[in-house]
């Protein structure tokens, strides 16, 4: 058991807070931001932002463009790579898939979008002899199957889902599945948790009776990825 150390009883540094306020003002879809927009988002004055940008440029986190606007620089990408490596997605997902398979009795998988297809990245097969024989690396079409629907669901709709997606016969006439989208800290869809099995066992009625387990697993995974509602 890992002993949790208490947080040190110290306050943050105001200058560091301001730097991070500017850096985190950038949002998905921003190619570059001008001083006026940064000032509006951060509530800092322009002269302060300009001084902070000098430090951010020095450390490779920001580039100043020829027109005076600012954009995130390559150091941000390097830090993201470090974060992703430290995150070790498999370490978070596999225990949840085992938990779902044991609790629901059917195969649990994690799918990601791969162009016009959905790719099975991780999978824990059920103990039943009658099951869908797919393996990690196998691809399925982005059709009307529950997993495909989940992968197409943006955060503003997926965050309020009370009922998991359910499909029967969408890809395979004898197969059924239920799924929920999984979002990262930037509220981007990174994958879908899917429970699948023969339509004779994974009926819609049974799926609805156990979907709480799928919701709990999805929420646990998203919290570990830093996703906040």
pLDDT bucket at 129, cuts 50 / 70 / 90: confident
| pLDDT computed for residue 138 by the predictor | 85
- For 53-85, letters b (16+ CB in 10 Å) and e give beebeeeebbbbeeeebbebbeebeeeeeeeee
Reported confidence tier of residue 32, pLDDT bands at 50, 70, 90 = very high
What is the arithmetic mean of pLDDT over 96-123?
93
Which band of pLDDT confidence, cut at 50, 70 and 90, is reported for residue 2?
very low
- Average pLDDT (3-31) is 75
* Best CA proximity match to 104, nearest among 200, 196, 198: 196
Q: Is residue 160 over pLDDT 90?
A: no
Cα atoms in the Cβ-side hemisphere of radius 13 Å centred on 14 = 2
Structure tokens at 85: 């490596």
3-state secondary structure of 38: helix
Task: Report domain extents, the chain.
Answer: 14-84, 88-224
Give me the phi and psi of 17, to 5 degrees please.
-60, -40
> Tell me, what's the pLDDT at 175?
94
Asked if 29 and 14 touch (Cβ cutoff 8 Å), the reply is: no
Q: Give me 153's structure tokens.
A: 């669901």
Residue 4 backbone dihedrals phi, psi, to 5 degrees: -85, 120
pLDDT tens figures, 57-76? 999 999 999 999 999 998 88
Given this structure, which CATH class describes domain 88-224?
Answer: alpha beta
pTM above 0.85, yes or no: no
CATH code at 14-84:
1.10.10.10
Residue 155 has, within 13 A of its CA and on its CB side, a CA count of 13
The whole-number average pLDDT for the span 18-28 is 89
User: 195 near 104, Cβ under 8 Å?
Assistant: yes
Q: Which residues of 111-123 are buried (b: 16+ CB within 10 A; e: fewer)?
A: bbbeeeebbbbbb
């Amino acid at each position: 058991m890992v002993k949790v150390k208490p947080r040190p009883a110290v306050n943050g540094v105001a200058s560091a807070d301001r730097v991070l306020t500017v850096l985190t003002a950038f949002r998905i879809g921003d190619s570059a931001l001008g001083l006026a927009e940064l000032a509006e988002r951060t509530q800092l004055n322009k002269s302060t932002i300009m001084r902070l940008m000098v430090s951010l440029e020095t450390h490779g986190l920001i580039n100043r463009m020829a027109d005076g606007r600012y954009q995130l620089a390559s150091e941000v990408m390097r830090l993201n790579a470090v974060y992703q490596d430290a995150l070790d997605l498999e370490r978070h997902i596999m225990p949840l898939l085992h938990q779902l398979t044991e609790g629901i009795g059917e195969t649990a998988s994690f799918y990601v979008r791969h162009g016009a297809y959905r790719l099975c990245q991780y999978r824990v097969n059920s103990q039943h002899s009658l099951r869908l024989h797919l393996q990690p690396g196998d691809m399925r079409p982005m059709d009307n199957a529950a997993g495909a629907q989940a992968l197409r669901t943006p955060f503003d709709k997926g965050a309020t889902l009370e009922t998991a997606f359910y499909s029967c016969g969408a890809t395979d006439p004898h197969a059924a599945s239920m799924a929920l989208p999984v979002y990262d800290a930037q509220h981007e869809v990174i994958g879908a948790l899917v429970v699948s099995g023969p339509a004779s066992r994974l009926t819609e009625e049974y799926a609805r009776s156990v979907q709480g387990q799928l919701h709990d697993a999805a929420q646990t995974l998203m919290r570990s990825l830093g996703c906040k509602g």
